[in-house]
Chain A
Amino acid sequence: MKSMSALLVEAREKHYENAVMIKKLRAMLQSTEDNARMLKKQSTFLSQLAAKTVPKGLHCFSMRLTVEYHTLSSAEQEFERKEKLEDPDLYHYALFSDNILAAAVVVNSTILNAKVQYLWIITKLFSTHDTDLLVRCLYFFSIEYYYYYYYHYYILN
């Protein structure tokens, strides 16, 4: 009997109102989620910040080049052959970059692979048969022809 009454008291003490309880738990869940989201954001931001502030060899590279550039006299700061910049007959490349190493790779690889010199052959031929013969000759001397233009000139007299 005694233990029964103790149990009843305990049961009455531990009886919560369900609706209130659910509300409370929901609120707790939401605030925890919010907190987690904020912490996640913060950690992303801080890891990015850390990555930015760690001194990098590359960083120094650009800095050293800049310092070196400003020690040059204004004449030394200029590139040579400026007259070629606007000559439309040359091979012009446009390269927009904020990455020095990447730009250097593009320029160097372009130059290193541009090894072929073109040879212009201008001939006067009188028939397509002659053209054929010439192409065969080139083939024989292992000169790979790239492609050719064929012009008909009607000479008006």
Chain B
Amino acid sequence: MHVLLLKARKLISPVSQEPEKHVFHIVTDKLNYGAMKMWFLANLPGDATIEVQNVDDFKWLNSSYCPVLKQLESSSMKDYYFKADQTNPLAAGTSNLKYRNPKYLSMLNHLRFYLPEVFPKLDKILFLDDDIVVQKDLTPLWDIDLNGNVNGAVETCGASFHRFDKYLNFSNPLISENFDPNACGWAYGMNVFDLKQWKKEDITGIYHRWQSLVSLHT
């Protein structure tokens, strides 16, 4: 016996939505937390579910767990103590202020490497950048079989641009032994992540290992 399971797009009543199935997880910083929450409390689109979190509330995100924070901390310390260019008192004031909060500089950007830590109970998530406008239904993306891969994305490379050799330093033997210079770069605006597979392959651990080999040149 064959059983056919068919998923059909119903065009007869295109207005029928199921917005109650959409759940948005927004993470912002301390400064914008209240405002962000207020905006979505007042302007909730349809029946969608929204959550707003503050990156500063993630207690696990600290310099002993996360190499990039450790590096930022030590580089800001170095700058604070050894930086010669302190002649302009105005500039010196603002730069110190910034260095005191290394998290604000980049943690929202680095958070994408910690998706399973942020969403421990979810299996699959669609990551969206804030510089995009959605023009199509995105729900079919959840049906894509990633074939055991962790990240589903759109490749953005051409014959010679957005290849790995443009991003990575292949004169370093560690890089040239582990990466293909001709591999294609991808767009980070919209990515599907299989969080189960991420945990299984310990992507966070791999990221930590590579990050601790990097020297930040800020």
Contacts and interface: CB of A to CB of B under 8 A. Distances in A.
Interface of A: 41-42, 45, 49, 61-63, 65-66, 68-70, 72, 76-77, 79-82, 84-88, 90-100, 102-128, 130-131, 134, 138, 142-153, 155
Contacts, number: 278
Contact of A148 (B4, B44, B138): B4
Contacts of A144: 8-9, 11
B177 interface: no
A84 B49 contact: yes
Contacts of B133: 105-106, 109
Contacts of A116: 9-10, 14, 137, 139
Given A95-B25, A116-B137, A69 B51 contact: no
B176 interface: no
Return the 10 tightest CB-CB contacts between A and B, nearest first.
Answer: A65-B35, A97-B130, A69-B38, A102-B130, A69-B34, A109-B134, A66-B34, A86-B121, A65-B38, A111-B45
B216 interface: no
Contacts of A111: 17, 19, 22, 45-46, 48
B115 A94 contact: yes
